A and B are shown apart, each in its own frame.
Chain A
Amino acid sequence: MKRLAAMLLLRRWWASWVALTSTRERGTSLARFRIAVGLVILYSIGSMIAADLVEVMWIDAEYGGLQSLSDWHWLASALGGRTPTTAWVLVSGGLVSGAMLAVGLGGRWTALVALQFYYALNTAKPTLTGGYDTMVINALWLLVLASSTATLSLDCRLRTGSWRSDRLVPAWPRYLLILQLLVVYGTTGLYKLSPVWVPGGSHSALWWVFQEPTWRRFDMTWLASAYPLTQLASAVTWWWEVLTPLLLLYYWARHTAERGGRLRRALLRFDLRKPWAAIGIGLHLGILALINVGPFSLISLSYYLCLIPPGAEPSAEPSAGAGASESADAGELADASGGESADERRR
């Protein structure tokens, strides 16, 4: 009997998962994200050209570069190793594909090409890359899987004669991008085990971050007079990061809201996504203003664009093969996963 109940439960979970991954929505959010990622790539590579660093960091010491580099990425290897020619081919390819991504030309193929160029550039040496490169590369892979040029793109203009389209696209890439964001913050919180971060410690972490010559944009010793504020900001940052994965609970409660229950009602009392996003945006704007971590805040904030649901009626694609009741579920699921509220959908 217990086995049967477990089987039924698993079946229900699987049907929900299939319905969730079959949800379709308007492509506006993914299009905004694609444009932002394209611009971040242009900035990331463009800033290297502006600082005359392409032939310093992206060519091997054998050819006059700063470090001995790896050419394990197939493209770097196919182009003959980390030579100046390879570096400029990768840089040019990255810029062209980044621009094409921003204007939305070439669909997912452009994202695939941009991924190869950017990944090849940033696998030269782990110590020459940053967390933001990983975020760009993750974004590009999900854009390969997504239909991100359905609207706000040159592809759309060529297809329909208009820059905008209401064509529905799979919603799951957007859900995966949101999940990516939650995982990034959750794991970052896991890494922060130093006594300068954790409760019971000094909460002095941000004081040290702001004083570090590697990061600070300008002299930050003035913060000494506002030290308690930096302690508060450190505590908020730590708790916010560590608790971020719990936002999934909120999404689950929204998805299953019709089942009722005290816990769901408590979780749904406030839209927790709003304060969460407000803290996150504040944190990244603070980083952008006070410390120099390149395009880190820009690519992080690009992911936030996926939290803004496209204003459209979600529906399950006809080929989901799950019947009318699951289509209705999919609508709820889209709503649960960052989609608009029931009121908004009714409008």
Chain B
Amino acid sequence: MPPWSSPAWPHLRATLLALHVLSLVVLSLPDAGAVHNRRRWQTANARADLQQTAARLTAWGIPIDELELKRRLWAMGTAYLVVQRPLVLPFVWYGRLTGSRQGWRMFASPQRHPAELHVDLEGDGQWEPIYRPHSDRYAWNREQFEHNRFRKFLGRFARGFIARDYQQTARWVATKAAREHPEAPRVLVRLYRYDTPTPQQVAAGETPAGRYEHAMRFDAEALR
């Protein structure tokens, strides 16, 4: 007799579905990666969030500075994780096996200090741009760089810089550029960081002045 024709089946199925629902809810709670990620806490975005929140609380009669707020939030996160970790534990294998996990942080703290990937080649002793995001003039390899997965991946360097990921990316980009531009002696890959202008700055016609970070120069010949 197949199990689903047994009178106990509806109860067994109801139990399994209750466990699935529980798993869905528990696994969707913010985890340590969201609560205690030191790299994220140190980003310009997170610092701005802390500053603004501290200023707002102070204005509401709860005097606190950015550092103290950060310390308290970290402590609250620690207390939360003491509860969250054992709650999640029984469901981790199920989430891993079936992929039934949920942790959607999209736009949680929108980027206000983006970093763009810029690629240049050396020519006549000067650096010539070959790629700038959203530029029709410097559009080398645009099809790949502007695919949503690539854009999302590059955008992560502004949110929580991972040196190894960046170095591998810069090397891959430089290798491709070197192979497709056999005349270029050197390739420069770097991030251009700037503060997104406010609506008022845009209305006043101000353009953001940025700065370059994590510049990596490659000998093109060695990469070909």
Cβ contact within 8 Å between A214 and B106: no
A contact residues around B109 at 8 Å (CB): 192-194, 196
Which stretch in B17-25, B82-90, B121-129, B214-222 binds the other chain?
Answer: B17-25
**B154: CB under 8 A from chain A?**
yes
The one of B18, B53, B107 in contact with A192, judged by C-beta atoms closer than 8 angstroms, is: B107
Is A215 at the interface (CB under 8 A from chain B)? yes
Q: Assess the B155–A187 pair: CB atoms within 8 A.
A: no
Question: In the bound complex, what is the Cα–Cα distance between A130 and B147 (angstroms)?
Answer: 13
Task: State the CA gap A101–B61 with chains docked (Å).
Answer: 58
Chain B contact residues (Cβ within 8 angstroms of A): what range? 35 or more
- The reply to whether A192 and B108 contact each other, CB–CB distance below 8 Å, is yes
Contact residues of B between 84 and 107, Cβ < 8 Å to A: 98-107
Report B-chain residues with C-beta under 8 Å of the C-beta of A320: 10
How many chain A residues touch B (CB < 8 A): the figure is: 75
Contact with A along B174-218 (1 / 0, CB 8 A): 000000000000000000000011111011000000000000000
B155 partner residues in chain A, CB cutoff 8 A: 212-215
Asked if B9 and A294 make an inter-chain contact with CB atoms under 8 angstroms apart, the answer reads no
B interface secondary structure, majority: helix
Task: Tell me whether B202 and A67 are in contact (CB under 8 A).
Answer: no
**Bound complex: CA A192 to CA B134 (Å):** 28
List residues of B (5-60) whose CB comes within 8 Å of A's CBs. Answer: 5-7, 9-11, 13-14, 17-18, 20-21, 24-25, 28-30, 34, 45, 49, 52-53, 56
Query: How distant is A306 from chain B, measured CB to nearest CB, in Å?
Result: 15
Report if B116 contacts A (CB, 8 A).
yes
Q: What residue in chain A is nearest B50 (Cβ atoms)?
A: A195
A201 engages B56 (CB within 8 Å):
yes
Contacting pair A322 B108 (CB below 8 A): no
Query: What are 8 A-B residue pairs whose CB atoms fall within 8 Å in the complex?
Result: A134-B102, A134-B104, A140-B99, A191-B34, A206-B110, A294-B148, A294-B149, A296-B106
Q: Which residues of A contact B (CB under 8 A)?
A: 14, 17-18, 21-22, 47-48, 51-53, 56-57, 61, 65-68, 115, 119, 127-128, 130-131, 134, 137-138, 140-141, 172, 176, 179-180, 183-184, 186-188, 190-197, 200-202, 205-209, 211-216, 218-219, 221, 223-225, 227, 292-294, 296, 317, 319-322
B residues whose Cβ falls under 8 Å from a Cβ of A? 4-7, 9-11, 13-14, 17-18, 20-21, 24-25, 28-30, 34, 45, 49, 52-53, 56, 98-112, 114, 116, 133-134, 143-144, 146-156, 162, 164-165, 168-169, 172, 196-200, 202-203
In the A-B complex, the 5 residue pairs with the smallest Cβ-Cβ separation, listed nearest first, are A214-B155, A294-B148, A137-B99, A208-B110, A194-B109
